[in-house]
Amino acid sequence: MQPAVDFTLENGLRVIVAEDHASPVAAFGMCVRAGVCDEPSDRRGIAHFFEHMMFRGSERFGPKEHTARITRVGGDCNAGTSIDPTIYYETFPAGALDEILALEADRFMRLKLTAEHVEVERKVVLEELRMYENQPMSRAFRQLMREIGRGHPYGLDPLGRTEDLAATTVADLEAFRRRQYRPGNAFAVIAGDVRRADVEELMRRHFGEWRDPPEAAGARAAVPRFEVPAGRMRLKLSFEVPAVARVHRLKPSAEEDHAALDLLTALLADGESSPVQERLVKRRRLCVHAGGECLKLFHGGALVFYGAFLPPGRHGARLAELREICDRFAADGPPREEFAKRIKRFRMRLARANYSVMERMMGLGNSELVEGGYRKYEQALEDLAAVTPARIRDLAARLFAPENTLELEVVPEKSRWWMPLAGLFMRVVRR
């Protein structure tokens, strides 16, 4: 396994290559900066709709050919649209690299959008939207994002709005393509049993003619900074189990201290022996499940610590415990001996990730996208080891300050008001 390297084609397309000759497999990913912030206000969901259209055929390859050709070599392909980017990815036998790049280049440069295909795919994306709406868990997460992101594009659903999807035309999709799908707004990552020189030659051959359209200069609209609202909120969401959360405001991803942030999140919430999990779940028995997650986004993110509990009871006690954990951490700083332990867990995770070229490709891509460069993925252990207690304390002081903190009480939509009474009754009867 060799360190990843990069090069940039004359058209501005950046390419990251990670050679790994352990097995004859490769993974390709193309990341396009096309998400909710890039959608016209009356065409919500167009980024995701367009992603579907990318599988509907290009000039050289018919509507079913992209998937069929990758399937034929034993590979798999898919794509995903999230808040900030859209990512296309596949795994395949390394010997098929030339064919894969030819397929990818043709759809990125010469996609065919026909009214007939748009009509069928519109039905598909509407079914997908309905499906997520009918699953209470996914509906709850989307409701949560809507409430926290109110007033910012991040509060919008990447799946879009029914009325906008119904109104989207071929011309809208074409305009979106010209604005977002251009070499200056994308980068590619290739990991696996490939050689840099071959990749460079093939990328030049297949993607060399891709050009930013003239109107693309300055095409990215200014997006306001996303700031998690401070204070306290009580939300009725379609979860079945009540929960609490502390949501801390993060800076835009380009400005954040990622190594310190990852270590702080791990020190507080990674593993059953971390303070958040151990105190809420094991020691105080206030929650049945607890943890922490970091949402790193272009325009501002969120660090979330949460706990779900059963039977329904007082949110206040759980929030107070979370507050106490965070405040003590900010005041005392992390115990030095915990650093090595948490970094070792990162080492284990990174080692395991090396089994899969897809995981390495995704890790490199994610670091390139939100952490300031793909090298951060490979330097993660060195960067973590360089984090000092003082850096963690400073970060905690900023994140856990009241003006950067939202305390959330999550109440299930479906009322089970009788549950606490039933619990009390059972306790009385048992005594």
Partner 1 sequence: MSGASLPRVEVFREPGGQTILVQSRRDVPVVFLELQCPGGRLCDPRRLPGLAELAAALLDEGPAGTDPSDWRRRLEGMAAEVAFAARADHWAAGFECLTEDLGAVSDLFLSAVTAPGLHRSEWKRLVKARLAAAREDWAQPSSVIRRLCPVQALGFGHPSAHPSFEKSYAQIDYRGAAELAAGALGRRGEVYLLVGGDISPEDGAALARRVITALPDRGAALPAEPEARPSAAPVWLIDHPRIDQAFFGLSRAGVRAGDPERTALRLANFMIGGGGFTSRLMDRVREAMGHTYGIGSSLPERRQAVPFVISSFTQVGNLRAMLELIDRVLAEIREGGFTAEELDLARCHSHGKLPLRLNNPRTILDFAAGGLRAGLDPERLEADWRSIPGMSLEAANAAARRIIGDGRFRLALVAPAAQARGQVEGRGDIAVIPHGATPDRWPV
Closest CB to partner 1 among residues 62, 373: 62
Q: Tokens in use for 298?
A: 């272009």
Site for partner 1 in 75-94 (CB under 8 A): 75-76, 91-93
Q: Which is nearer to partner 1, 1 or 221 (CB)?
A: 1
CB of 341 to partner 1, least distance (A): 5
Q: Does residue number 421 form part of the binding site for partner 1 (CB under 8 A)?
A: no
Chosen residue from 82, 124, 201, 386 binding partner 1 by CB under 8 A: 124
Q: Which residues contact 100 (CB under 8 A, 6 or more apart)?
A: 26, 28, 70, 75, 90, 92
Shortest CB 354 distance to partner 1, Å: 5
Least Å from the CB of residue 129 to partner 1: 9
247: phi then psi, degrees, rounded to nearest 5: -115, 120
Q: Which long-range contacts (CB under 8 A, 24 or more apart) does 323-327 make?
A: 323/246, 323/407, 325/268, 325/275, 325/276, 325/279, 326/246, 326/268, 326/396, 326/400, 327/400
Site for partner 1 in 129-168 (CB under 8 A): 130-131, 134-137
The residue with tokens 């999990």 is 277
User: Which CB atom, from 64 or from 220, has the smaller least distance to partner 1?
Assistant: 64
- Report if residue 354 touches partner 1, rule: CB under 8 A: yes
Smaller CB distance to partner 1: residue 8 or 71? Answer: 71
Binding residue (CB under 8 A) for partner 1 from 347, 389, 402, 424: 347
Shortest Å, Cβ 347 to partner 1: 7
Nearest approach in angstroms of CB 232 to partner 1 is 24
Instruction: Determine the residue type at 242.
Output: P
Least distance from C-beta 288 to partner 1, angstroms? 4
Binder of partner 1 out of 28, 49, 55, 89 (CB under 8 A): 55
Q: First CA to last CA across the chain, in angstroms?
A: 63
In whole angstroms, what is the distance from residue 95 CA to residue 86 CA?
26
Rounded (5°) CA angle 211-89-43: 65
Query: Does residue 235 touch partner 1 according to CB under 8 A?
Result: no
Alpha helices, DSSP H, located in 87-223: 97-110, 115-134, 136-148, 162-167, 170-180, 196-207
Q: Does 220 bind partner 1 (CB under 8 A)?
A: no
- Please name the residue that has the structure tokens 């994306």: 125
Q: Binding pattern to partner 1, positions 297-336, x when CB under 8 A?
A: -----------xxx--------------------------
Residue from 19, 121, 227, 368 in contact with partner 1 (CB under 8 A): 121
**HSE, side-chain direction, 13 A CA sphere, residue 12:** 12
Nearer to partner 1 by C-beta: 13 or 237? 237
Choice from 110, 122, 211, 314 touching partner 1 (CB under 8 A): 122
Q: Which is nearer to partner 1, 183 or 242 (CB)?
A: 242
Q: What are phi and psi of 291, to 5 degrees?
A: 180, -170
Rounded Cα–Cα distance for residues 174 and 114 (Å): 10
d(CA 404, CA 381): 28
Strand partners, 26: 92, 192
Phi-psi region of 151 (alpha: psi -120 to 50; beta: other; left: phi over 0): left
**Judged by CB under 8 A, does residue 205 bind partner 1?**
no
Is residue 127 within the footprint of partner 1 (CB under 8 A)?
A: yes
- What gap in Å lies between CA 18 and CA 1, rounded to an integer? 8
Q: Report the nearest approach of partner 1 to the CB of residue 89 (Å).
A: 14
Q: Is 169 in the site for partner 1 (CB under 8 A)?
A: no
Binding site for partner 1 (CB under 8 A): 1, 22-25, 55, 63-64, 67-68, 71-76, 91-93, 119-125, 127-128, 130-131, 134-137, 239-241, 271-273, 278, 281-283, 285, 288-289, 308-310, 341, 344-345, 347-348, 351-352, 354-357
